[in-house]
Structure 1
């Protein structure tokens, strides 16, 4: 496809999303008994349409930042014997629950699972660049881990389940691991008390990212020219953006003593076309005592899938990997279809 055709396609997608926004489904999400009225940091309001295109979902999400994806946040949903654990979806940097999971959430719900998601890490007030209240996951990762802890407790209380399964995209995977290690998600001394069974991540910045060279560039400016550009960069991309760079104190603490927590099953999906979580191999984890890790390349066995960092969560193969990880007996086969590299 030529550059001109790609540009026209993207413009058409954005226009379509804008038109969808004008006719948005304004029905309120089913009431969450644990919700805090007016809590802008986590609760969703209403639903957006199911979309298969990442660019359209991002455009719709920007116009409707608080909506939930279809299939999620039915607080009356009760897990059954075939689907015993609810699934909690955690979005990535600069995203929202909707823009990240407009496609994956309804697919998981159609497979029979209770699905929940939330917005986290939003700024309290408008700031420079992308740091503003409608842009998610820019706050400190430590604070976001605590937000996830509160949300999981609400899900467990509402559903009556003993554990959840978690899916995280990009920073969302790091936030899940922060929750496991530091915010009560896992109990290293007694894994039977773990609140999480499975962790599934896509493009997670588990060992830091170079942000396609930005992190190296910041270090070079400081080392050779004496220019510390971290603060203005942090103002632009948010605290969490800087905290995901290779060697950050947050990631150093998170990975100290090993990558995993006992009793947790991890499926870590990398993407060879990832241009944000770079190099993509840094997403992979090494199993420690009592944990299992499945490091998977999205394109392994499926060269047709050319997803990039953001579009990978709109990949049918990515959905099938999640279902297979949670219940391989019920979902033994992996899908292989085309899914475009968009950005």
Structure 2
């Protein structure tokens, strides 16, 4: 007489198969919301986007000025960026703003120093002290919007000098966690000796008067002999305590010269010469905006990364000025 298999034993394969199907379904259902909620990454721009934005989008760039952004525990301080002289945020930060946003930062950028000559596009022409006041108001707006106690600052050229005035002369240092300057003109420039020669020939007073009449004093104030530059450092050549400072310089800078004068002094300062880390990087003063090693150094500084950080030497910036 054949032995009848117990019904429970017959059900085991069926139950096992059902369990596998159920587990698979749960796995996919759990993964689906995460995929649906994933924010698409912003594409980083380059020179073509910068040229286009300069004219068509001077006040906006992907990744910046989202006033609904709330800082995360990983990145509690929002980032405020300032472009260089003659530039605007739409052009200057086509690469930086998307990368910061993709990394989880709340990102903001300010156009400053506009005059009637600016035509809504050319920044840094107005008096630099007034530009520092504009920065002060903008930072307060960012702090109020995000609920943060401090910001991080990224500034290119004059965009590095205006925050320095704000920190040294207006008490702004207490609102800053980290400062990153790309070829900052904080100590002024001799324009490859032109400013020094002009002073010796007593021509700088005439040029200063001309710049005030023509509405571009912010340009002349960046010379190393200007009243603005001298007053900035009249109380000492060190930066205020509190923030962590990083300066990125390039040996091929022909605008803020000598390039070594861009370096800062203080208790928590890291002065980086780009070619010491990437000898074949020939990015000029303007080229730092799309220079990937510069951006890698910036990201490391904002993240409190190691002081001996070495960027991957690729995607160099423009060899311009």
- Fold equivalence (TM over 0.5): yes
Distance (whole Å) between structure 2 residues aligned to residue 81 and residue 157 of structure 1: 17
2:301 equivalent in structure 1 = 325
Say whether residues 1:315 and 2:302 are aligned partners: no
1:196 equivalent in structure 2 = 176
1:101 equivalent in structure 2 = 93
SS in 1 for 2:152: strand
Inter-CA distance 301–227: structure 2 relative to 1 (3 Å threshold): closer
Moved over 6 A (4+): none
Structure 2 alignment gaps of length 5 or more = 1-41
Work out whether residues 292 and 314 of structure 2, in 8 Å CA contact, stay in contact via their aligned partners in 1.
Answer: yes
Work out whether residues 234 and 241 of structure 1, in 8 Å CA contact, stay in contact via their aligned partners in 2.
Answer: no
2:114 equivalent in structure 1 = 122
Inter-CA distance 227–159: structure 2 relative to 1 (3 Å threshold): closer
Distance (whole Å) between structure 2 residues aligned to residue 330 and residue 113 of structure 1: 19
Say whether residues 1:51 and 2:51 are aligned partners: no
Inter-CA distance 210–317: structure 2 relative to 1 (3 Å threshold): same
Paired residue for 1:228, among 206, 211, 221?
206
After superposition, the C-alpha distances for 1:310-343 in whole angstroms (9 at most, x for unaligned) are 1112111111111111214499552211423035
1:166 positional shift = 0.3
2:245 equivalent in structure 1 = 266
Work out whether residues 187 and 261 of structure 2, in 8 Å CA contact, stay in contact via their aligned partners in 1.
Answer: yes
1:264 positional shift = 1.4
Inter-CA distance 222–151: structure 2 relative to 1 (3 Å threshold): same
Paired residue for 1:157, among 132, 144, 148?
144
Paired residue for 1:251, among 229, 241, 246?
229
1:227 positional shift = 9.1
Between 207-216 and 110-119, the greater mean CA deviation after superposition: 207-216
Alignment of structure 1 residues 139-150 onto 2, 5 Å = 139-150=126-137
After superposition, the C-alpha distances for 1:257-303 in whole angstroms (9 at most, x for unaligned) are 2331111110011110111111100100111xxx4000111121212
Higher helix share: 2
Inter-CA distance 118–146: structure 2 relative to 1 (3 Å threshold): same
1:185 positional shift = 1.1
Distance (whole Å) between structure 1 residues aligned to residue 43 and residue 302 of structure 2: 26
Say whether residues 1:205 and 2:197 are aligned partners: no
Distance (whole Å) between structure 1 residues aligned to residue 205 and residue 152 of structure 2: 43
Distance (whole Å) between structure 2 residues aligned to residue 92 and residue 214 of structure 1: 20
Structure with greater Cα Rg: 2
1:9 equivalent in structure 2 = none
> What value does the CA root-mean-square deviation take over the aligned residues?
2.4
Q: TM-score, normalised by structure 1?
A: 0.75
Distance (whole Å) between structure 2 residues aligned to residue 136 and residue 49 of structure 1: 25
Q: TM-score, normalised by structure 2?
A: 0.79
Paired positions, count: 277
After superposition, the C-alpha distances for 1:77-101 in whole angstroms (9 at most, x for unaligned) are 1111111111000111111011111
Inter-CA distance 233–220: structure 2 relative to 1 (3 Å threshold): farther
Distance (whole Å) between structure 1 residues aligned to residue 215 and residue 50 of structure 2: 17
Inter-CA distance 227–245: structure 2 relative to 1 (3 Å threshold): closer
